[in-house]
Structure 1
Amino acid sequence: MRRSAAACAAALAGALALAGCGSGDSAAELSVSAAYMPQPVSDSMAAGFLTITNKGGTKDALTSVTSDVAGSVTVHETVGGAMREVDSLEVPAGGRLQLASGGSHLMFEKLKRKPRQGEKVTLELHFADSGTVEVEMPVESATYTPNTGS
């Protein structure tokens, strides 16, 4: 009886260890590309765009953004032509979150200085599960249109 109980306990411990190893393989794997800020026309506000790709097996969420160039950075989504501030945006497992002109985007509010074309703005993207990712966002011309590389 003791031998079968010990064998059962060992088998259970091994199964739990394997389950723990597997869970790390499905974590979110985030990368950021195509980041840019059109040179602001306003002294107090600017927009920002980027793409967050998740190659992992678990979704994550962009929960906030900070930057030393702005008093605050808010996250907005556009639905049916209407823009609204949101608390977070989901980054799907195996997918991407695209922040683009006319769609979801970042708003840099209460600018401390007006970024100029050719500069880079530093920002930190804060995620629910993946922590913080620092991004250098180039400032492009006010009329810049990115090549999406369809």
Structure 2
Amino acid sequence: MKRLTAAAVLAAGALTLAGCGGSGGSGSGGAELSVGSAYIPQPVSDMAAGFLTITNEGDAADRLTSVSSDVAGQVTVHETVDGSMREVESLDIPAHGSLVLESGGNHLMFEQLKRRPEEGQKVSVELRFADSDPVTVEIPVKSATYVPKTGH
């Protein structure tokens, strides 16, 4: 009987530990984020825009809270409502949904460019979230007139 009780205690402990998960989407029930369809049109001034899609396959929502890049003094997050854009503190990423940053809609603004990235280069960007671990993305620079065929 003591062996059965010890086995039950060990099994219960293992189940308890299995339910523990850190932030960053690695635990069950959290956000599971991935990034796709990313691009930056080659800038024609000291500012650039960035577009991408953050997909959340997880059971919990999250928020994009900040962005940084070594190519810019500052990267800000903008939302567009009724054709008017404004800087925001964060944008929601729904559970089992996506946050789409696209031309004419929500987007990133790379301000105070330290250098003007050129078509064919990649720009390293770190995306930070309210609950998930940061994600670093290498965003390709496309022509200034680039229009994606899919993804946006």
What is the CA-CA distance between 1:75 and the residue it aligns to?
A: 0.1
User: For the Cα contact (< 8 Å) 2:37–2:151, is it kept in 1?
Assistant: no
State the partner residue of 2:37. Answer: 34
Instruction: Give SS of 2:19's match.
Output: helix
Alpha-carbon distance between aligned partners in 1 of 2:89 and 2:17, rounded to the nearest angstrom: 32
The alpha-carbon distance between structure 1 residues 82 and 19, as it changes in their structure 2 partners (threshold 3 A), is farther
- The within-5 A match list for 1:52-131 is 52-131=54-133
- Aligned-pair CA distance for 1:21: 1.5
Mapped to 2, the partners of 1:21 and 1:149 lie a distance apart of 35
Structure 1 residue runs of 4 or more that deviate by more than 6 Å after TM superposition: none
TM-score (norm 1): 0.85
Displacement after TM superposition at 1:85 (Å): 0.2
How many residue pairs get aligned? The number is 139
- Shift of residue 25, structure 1, vs aligned partner: 1.4
Q: Deviations over 1:1-45 (max 9, x none)?
A: xxxxxxxxx99xx5xx55971873111000000100000010x10
Q: Deviations over 1:113-132 (max 9, x none)?
A: 00000000000000111121
Deviation of the 1:46 alpha carbon: 0.3
- Give the gaps of 5 or more residues in structure 1: 1-9
In 2 relative to 1, CA 67–149 (structure 1 residues): closer, same or farther, beyond 3 Å? closer
Q: Computing the radius of gyration over CA atoms, which structure comes out larger, 1 or 2?
A: 1
Structure 2 runs not aligned, ≥5 long: 1-7, 22-26
Bigger proportion of residues as helix: 1
Distance between the aligned counterparts of 1:20 and 1:84, measured in 2?
A: 43
- Tell me, in whole angstroms, the C-alpha distance in 1 between the residues paired with 2:125 and 2:151: 24
Percent identity over the alignment is: 64
Does residue 1:21 correspond to 2:23, yes or no? Answer: no
Distance, in Å, in 2 between the alignment partners of 1:145 and 1:76 is 20
Task: State the match for 1:137 in structure 2.
Answer: 139
Give the superposition deviation at 1:149: 5.3
Aligned to 1:5: none
Question: Against the structure 1 CA distance between its residues 149 and 69, is the aligned structure 2 distance closer, same or farther, given a 3 Å change threshold?
Answer: closer
| Secondary structure of 1:25 counterpart | coil
Corresponding letter in the other structure for 1:21: G
**Could you say what secondary structure the match of 1:102 adopts?**
coil
Q: Cα 1:19–1:95, aligned 2, differ >3 Å: closer, same or farther?
A: farther
In the superposition, the TM-score normalised over structure 2's length comes to 0.84
